[in-house]
Amino acid sequence: MTAGTDTAGLMDAIYQNQRYFYDLTRKYYLLGRDHLINQLDVPEGGTVLELGCGTGRNLIAAAKRYPSAQFFGLDISDQMLATARKNIEKAGYSNRIKLIQGDASNAPAVSGFGPDAYSRVFYSYTLSMMPIWREALQTGLANLSGEGKISIVDFGQQERLPSWFRGLLFKWLNGFHVTPRADLQSELSSLAEVHSADLKFAPLYRGYAVYAELRRR
C-alpha cells in the first residue's frame, strides 16, 4: 500500500460524513479563500488548476469570477469529489469545471487531464493537510505555464494572536490531521530561486492565515 493510498483512505474516512456540511462550517475559519480567488487575475481564456479541490466551492466561485476561463480540480478523496460533482452540476458549471481523483504530490496524476500547462495553479488550505506537501508544490510548478502563477492560502503561525489561541487552534487542527507549515515561506523562497520566480508572501488576519504568490518571470 502506497502513501497516496493511505492518505486517500484517511481523507475518505474523515470526509465521508463531513462533506455534507463542510462548506457551511468552514466558511467561519478558512479565511482568505475569496481573497485568493480575487487575486488570481486569470487571463482571458485562461486555464486554472486547483490541487486539493474538496467540495468544489472555490472552483465554482472562481468560475463565476472569471467567466472566460476553464477550471480543473484534483482531489485525493472520492467522497469529496462526489460532493463536488453534485455542487458543480447544481451551479451549472459542468461544462467549465472538470474533476479528477488523484494525489497532488504525484505530478503524473495531472498528466492528460487538462492542458499541458495552466495559467494559474492554486492551493486553498490544502498544503497543511498533505503529508508530502513539498512534492505537491512541485506538482504545481511542473504544470504551470511559462508566465503562470501559483497562489496559496493556508493557516499561518498565529504570531500576532494570543498564545493560548494558537495552542487551542493547533490542537484542534491536529485532530483533523492538519499541520500549519512553519517553513512554508522558506520552502517557497527556495523554489522561487531555483525556478526564477518572484515570491509574494504576506500574513492575513494577524497571522491567522498566510497568502502567497509564486509567479514565473
> Using one digit for the tens of pLDDT, what is the confidence trace for 72-112?
999 999 999 999 999 999 999 999 999 999 999 998 889 88
C-alpha cell at 86: 453534485
**Is 133's pLDDT higher than 60?**
yes
Share of the chain above pLDDT 90, in %: 81
| Mean pLDDT rounded to a whole number for the chain | 90
Residue 94: count other Cβ atoms within 10 Å of its Cβ.
Answer: 12
- Mean pLDDT over 142-167 rounds to 96
What amino acid is encoded at 21 in this protein? Answer: F
Q: Identify the burial level of 141 via C-beta atoms within 10 angstroms of its C-beta, where 0-12 means exposed, 13-18 middle and 19 or more buried.
A: middle
Q: Can you name the CATH fold of 3-216? A: Rossmann fold (3.40.50)
pLDDT at 17: 44
Q: Where are the alpha helices (DSSP H) in the chain?
A: 3-18, 22-26, 33-39, 57-65, 78-91, 133-142, 163-174, 184-194
pTM tops 0.85: yes
**Is 20's pLDDT higher than 60?**
no
**Is 204's pLDDT higher than 90?**
yes
Q: What CA–CA distances, in Å, run from 102 to 74, 86, 119, 128?
A: 6, 18, 20, 17
